[in-house]
Amino acid sequence: MIRIYKFGGASIQDADAIRRLGTLLAEGVARPRAMVVSAMGKTTNALEALLQATREPDEASYRRRLAEIRDGHLAVAEALFGPDSQVAAQLSRLVDELDAAHAAHREAPYPFHYDQTVGMGELLSTTLVAAWLNEIGVATHWCDARALIITDDRHQAANIDWAATRERIAGLATRADEILLTQGFIGATAGGAMTTLGREGSDFSAAILAEALDADELTIWKDVPGLFNADPRRFANARQIARLSYGEALEQTWQGAKVIHPRTLAPLQRRGIPLTVRSFLEPEAPPSTIGPEPGEGDRQPAFMLRDDQVLLDISIRDGSFVDEALMAEVLARLAEAGLHANLLDVEALRLRLVVDHRPEGLTPVLEALEGSFSVARQDGLVLLTVRHPDDVLLVSLDAGRTRLVERCNATTAQRLYLAAECPDTWQIPE
C-alpha cells in the first residue's frame, strides 16, 4: 500500500506541533511512502513581506524581517535539538542563501524574484522536520523538490512538465523503509531555476507525487477533520461532508473553498487515487474522502465566501457593444496580471468582473484599460457562491442584503454583497 501524506503550515507551526507530528508518525498512523510539507505557520506571508521590503529605499525593514525569519526558525531548532545544533547551522545557511538570492535578483522581474526567495520557506521547514523525524527514530530521507518537480518558467504559477517529473521521481533511489520527505509549493525549471506552483500549492505537490508514485491513497492532514459544506471558521453551522466526487471537489475548491488547492484534484482523478482529508489534531475523527464516485457532497448545498472583492464595471467609451474582441482584450489583461475573474457578467454595453483586491495586479490592469474603456470600480465587497442551491435558500441568504450582481446556472448561484451588510460569522439557513 503506497500512502502519501501532506502536512500544511499549521501542523508544524512551532516546536510542539513538530513534536506532535513526530508522535503521530511514530505511533499513531501507518507510515507513508512519501510526505510533502509546507512552510512553517505563516512563513510564506513573512517571505512575501520580506520581498516587498526589498523594494523599499530603506533597508531597515528588510533586515528586521530577515532577522525575524532567522530567529523564528532557530528558536524552534533550539527547542527541539538544544543550543548550537547542526540543524541550526543548516537553517542559518539557508537564510544566508535567501539573503543572497534577494541581492542577486532585486532587479529581476517580480515573479522571478518572488520564486527565488519565497520558496525558501519550505526548504527551511523540511530541514527541521526531517531532522526531527530522524532524531526520534522515524527514518526519513530529505529530498529537494527542485530535483523532482520539473516545470516551465511561468513563475508564481508554474506548469508541470509531467513527463520530466515522472522520470525524476521514478529515478529516485531511496530505501523502502525510509519516508521520502520533500517540500510542497516549489519545483524548478529544467535549467534549475526555482519555481512556485501558486499560493497554497503544497496540496498540489502532494498530488503530483502521488500520481508519479502511482500511490494507493493521498492523505492531507489539516486542522479540520475533513471537508465541510462551508468554511467552519466562517459558518457557525457548517457540516462535514463524508464523501464527494473529484468533479464536485474541483468545482468547490475552484469557486473558493480554501481547504484544498484546486489543482490537486486532476492528477488524482487521472489515476483514481482517493484523497482523504483528516485532522492532525484529532487523527481518530472520521475523515472526508474524495474519489471517483459521487457522495452526499455532490447533491447538498455548499457555500464558498470570497472576501475583499472588487467589482469592475467596464464599457467602451464610444458606446460599442461588448463583443468577443472586447472581452478577449479585457480578459487577456487580467491573465497577464495573474488575476482571476471570480464572477463574469455580460450585458450589451457593459462587462462586469469581480476580482480579488490585489493592488499589484489590479493597478496595471486599470492603467492599461484606461484609454479605450470607461471603468467604474467598487471595493469592499463579498462574493458568496452556493453549489446546488434552491430558491428558498437563496431568498433567505439575500434577506436584508443589497445584491450588486447575481448569477445563477443549473448548479451554482453567485451573489455579490456589500461587506458592510455581511456578518463575520454566517448561518446556513436550515
Q: Kindly list the residues in this chain that would bind ligand ADP in the complex (CB under 6 A).
A: 8-10, 38, 200, 222-224, 227-228, 230-233, 257-259
What lies within 8 Å, CB to CB, of 263 at 6+ separation is: 197, 198, 201, 203, 204, 207
Which residues on neighbouring strands pair with residue 412, listed in sequence order?
387
Of 232 and 338, CB closest to ligand ADP: 232
Q: In 3D, which of 144, 9, 156, 142 has the Cα closest to residue 72?
A: 9
The cell 507510515 sits on which residue? 31
Among 99, 115, 122, 200, binds Mg ion (CB under 5 A): 200
CB of 62 to ligand ADP, least distance (A): 26
Task: Check residue 30 and report its DSSP letter.
Answer: P
The nearer residue to ligand ADP, 92 or 240, going by C-beta atoms, is 240
Of the listed pieces 7-15, 65-73, 149-157, 215-223, which binds Mg ion according to CB under 5 A? 7-15
Confirm if 148 and 165 have CB atoms less than 8 A apart: yes
Which residue's CB is nearer to ligand ASP, number 68 or number 390? 68
Asked whether position 122 contacts Mg ion by CB under 5 A, the answer is no
Stretch that binds Mg ion, among 6-14, 42-50, 139-147, 352-360 (CB under 5 A): 6-14
Q: CA–CA distance from 380 to each of 53, 294, 309, 423 (Å)?
A: 26, 36, 6, 13
- Name the residue nearer to ligand ADP (CB basis): 117 or 202: 202
Instruction: Say whether 302 sits in a helix, a strand or coil.
Output: strand
Instruction: Name the residue number minimizing CB distance to ligand ADP.
Output: 8
User: Cα(104)–Cα(193) distance, rounded to whole angstroms?
Assistant: 13
199 interface partner picked from ligand ASP, Mg ion, ligand ADP, none, CB below 5 to 8 A per type: ligand ASP
For the sheet with 275-279, list strands across it.
140-142, 179-183, 34-37, 3-7, 217-222, 275-279, 288-291, 243-245
Considering CB distances under 5 to 8 angstroms, the limit depending on partner class, which of Mg ion, ligand ASP, ligand ADP, none binds residue 413?
none
Residues engaged in binding ligand ASP (CB under 6 A): 8-9, 38-39, 44, 121, 184-185, 199-202
- Selection from ligand ASP, ligand ADP, Mg ion, none that 297 binds (CB < 5 to 8 A by kind) is none
Both ends of the chain: CA-CA distance in Å? 41
Q: How far is the CB of 38 from ligand ASP (least distance, A)?
A: 3
